[in-house]
């Protein structure tokens, strides 16, 4: 095959991926945070004498993991061929704990991940770097120069602010004037949003929640006991994961460093909501302004939370730490948050069968996380599944392929899967016939789907007024469902 042919095919593939919306961008997994009636943690006075944190009266999502070097590298290659606002810190490429190298000259810079650092948290991040990153996410991850369409506006209107703008006299926003804009799709978590995600637990002590029914843990590992020290292999991956493990107090010894970052999520110690590393590894910026007292008055700083690989006290829930706009180091990283949408329950950017499968699992587990309470009755139950099917997906029970209709093609599809009453516990999904949400594909799913009267009615958007009586076609399909038991091959 000629080089011209190979090049043509590569270009064609790139064109298809780009213009058909299939290009793979930075994928950030998030977890939903509900329980909108939670109160502040009144039992903990912070190290600076302030109180109280954690109350958030709306649903939102927060990053399941800290932003990694791999994700930040992809961002840099999209917007930093020239880097007028210094979103790349040279220490990322020279420091023993940095994870990203830069090559070339300004105008043609390229970036790559350093060995064994792809799944480690990015560090040497200024608060302005963090804000520019979420602006880029909010704007759809565009490629181009650093301007209002990419990094300088969207969630935070920066207007050229740089690392030293809070002390310099030129016309750029000061720390106390840059806030989150309305309609933000991605953002840095506020201190309350971060605190709730890390420490809040709706369970009582009898249900496994915090002692004394305080509903807040001391550490972001669902524990009031200091976590075990994380140990790592030669590549920086945690080798002793567990329910209460964290990377702190120089415990990650690898790459000739006395203390280092470790793979995100490697400690496997989650918050109640399912986020990892909100104890140790790197500090994480919030967009909350903290006024710090100096001899000449108060100065506006931003707060970090969560502790770092080198300390232990800052990851305790009572400790908050303010930093100026010019502060970054090997402990400064970030975690992002985003607006909640019932259209995308698993946070992958798409309304699909994985969302209804996740909701079904939460119903079966009787979750207390009201992020899944779509009908706002304060209970996560089958009514929320019905709300998702009829009002979010705008379809019917039985629509296995989610094309907006329940018809014979769905019946044919599930009949080829060979999961009908196969005796394998909880192995079925919406796409394979589990329409009642119990994890199984059985005759009950056909009954459940037909009971909701959607068969052969066309798209739900075109449905008008009363639902007709079940047709003989439905009865035939019910008979077909029963016949599946004898026609499917048992494993």
Distance between CA atoms of 102 and 98, rounded to whole angstroms?
12
- What pLDDT, in 10s, does the model give residues 291-306? 877 777 777 889 999 9
User: Alpha helix (H) ranges present in 365-455?
Assistant: 382-387, 408-415, 443-451
- Sorted by where each starts, the structural domains of the chain and their CATH numbers stand as 29-340 (3.90.1580), 394-491 (no CATH)
pLDDT given at position 419: 93
Share of the chain above pLDDT 70, in %: 86
* Residue 314: closest CA among 330, 291, 331, 293: 331
Q: What is the pLDDT of residue 460?
A: 81
Count of CB atoms situated within 10 Å of the CB of 385: 23
For residue 463, the model assigns a pLDDT of: 32
- Given this model, what pLDDT does residue 12 score? 39
**Would the pLDDT of 21 be above 50?**
no
Highest mean pLDDT among 237-241, 314-318, 463-467: 237-241
The kind and range of the H/E element at 187 are: strand 186-187
Instruction: Tell me the β-bridge partners of 61.
Output: 32, 338
State mean pLDDT over 17-37: 75
Query: What is the pLDDT averaged over residues 221-228?
Result: 97
* pLDDT tens by residue, 38-76: 999 999 888 888 899 999 999 999 999 999 999 999 999
Q: How many CB atoms lie within 10 A of CB 226?
A: 18
* 140 CB burial (10 A radius; 0-12, 13-18, 19+): exposed
At 129 the pLDDT is 96
Under the banding of pLDDT at 50, 70 and 90, the label for residue 428 is: very high
| Among 185, 67, 176, residue whose Cα is nearest residue 129 | 67
Amino acid 174: pLDDT: 59
What angle separates helix 127-138 from helix 69-79, to the nearest 10 degrees?
A: 70
Please check whether residue 477 is in contact with residue 415, taking contact to mean a CB–CB distance below 8 angstroms. Answer: no
pLDDT one-digit tens code per residue, 465-476: 333 444 444 444
DSSP three-state, residue 263 = coil
Q: Where does the pLDDT of residue 449 fall: very low under 50, low under 70, confident under 90, or very high at 90 and above?
A: very high
The tokens for 240 are 């002793």
> Coil, strand or helix: which one is 55?
coil
Least trusted range by pLDDT, from 57-71, 281-295, 326-340, 369-383: 281-295
Contact call for residues 156 and 137 (beta carbons, < 8 A)? no
Across residues 449-469, what is the average pLDDT?
68
pLDDT digits (tens, 9 = 90+) for 186-222: 999 999 999 999 999 999 999 999 999 999 999 999 9
Q: How far is CA 266 from CA 223, 235, 242, 277, 457, in A?
A: 17, 12, 9, 8, 49
Quickly tell me which residue has 């909100």 as its tokens.
278
């Amino acid at each position: 095959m000629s080089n011209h042919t190979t090049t043509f095919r590569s270009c064609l593939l790139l064109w298809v991926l780009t213009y058909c919306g299939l290009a793979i961008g930075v994928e950030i997994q998030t977890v939903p945070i509900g329980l909108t009636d939670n109160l502040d943690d009144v039992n903990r006075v912070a190290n600076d004498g302030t109180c109280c944190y954690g109350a958030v009266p709306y649903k939102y999502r927060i990053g399941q993991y800290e932003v990694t070097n791999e994700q930040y590298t992809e961002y840099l290659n999209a917007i930093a061929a020239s880097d007028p606002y210094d979103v790349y810190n040279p220490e990322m490429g020279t420091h023993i704990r940095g994870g990203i190298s830069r090559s070339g000259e300004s105008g043609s810079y390229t970036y790559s991940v350093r060995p064994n650092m792809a799944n480690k948290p990015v560090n040497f991040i200024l608060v302005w770097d963090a804000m520019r990153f979420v602006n880029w996410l909010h704007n759809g991850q565009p490629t181009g120069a650093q301007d209002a369409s990419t990094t300088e506006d969207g969630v935070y209107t920066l207007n050229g602010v740089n690392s030293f703008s809070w002390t310099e006299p030129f016309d750029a926003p000061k720390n106390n004037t840059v806030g989150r804009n309305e309609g933000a799709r991605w953002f840095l978590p506020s201190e309350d949003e971060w605190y709730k995600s890390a420490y809040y637990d709706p369970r009582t002590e009898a249900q496994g929640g915090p002692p004394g029914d305080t509903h807040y843990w001391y550490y972001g590992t669902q524990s009031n006991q200091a976590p075990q020290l994380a140990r790592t292999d030669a590549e920086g991956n945690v080798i002793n994961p567990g329910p209460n493990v964290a990377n702190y107090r120089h415990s990650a010894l690898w790459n000739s460093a006395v203390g280092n970052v470790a793979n995100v999520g490697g400690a496997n110690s989650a918050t109640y909501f399912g986020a990892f590393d909100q104890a140790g590894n790197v500090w994480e910026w919030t967009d909350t302004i903290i006024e710090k007292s100096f001899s000449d008055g108060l100065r506006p700083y931003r707060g970090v939370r969560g502790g770092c690989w080198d300390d232990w006290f800052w990851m305790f829930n009572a400790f908050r730490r303010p930093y100026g706009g010019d502060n970054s180091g090997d402990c400064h990283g970030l975690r992002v948050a985003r607006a909640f949408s019932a259209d995308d329950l698993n946070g992958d950017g798409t309304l699909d069968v994985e969302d209804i499968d996740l909701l079904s699992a939460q119903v079966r587990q009787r979750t207390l996380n009201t992020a899944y309470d779509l009908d706002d009755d304060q209970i996560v139950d089958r009514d929320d599944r019905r709300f998702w099917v009829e009002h979010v997906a705008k379809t019917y029970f039985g629509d296995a392929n989610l094309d907006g209709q329940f018809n014979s093609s769905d019946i044919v599809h599930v009949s080829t899967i060979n999961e009908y009453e196969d005796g394998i516990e909880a192995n079925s999904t919406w796409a394979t016939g589990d329409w009642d949400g119990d994890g199984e594909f059985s005759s009950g799913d056909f009954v459940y789907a037909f009971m909701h009267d959607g068969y052969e009615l066309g798209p739900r958007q075109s449905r008008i007024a009363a639902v007709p009586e079940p047709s003989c076609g439905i009865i035939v399909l019910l008979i077909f469902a029963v016949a599946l038991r004898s026609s499917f091959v048992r494993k």
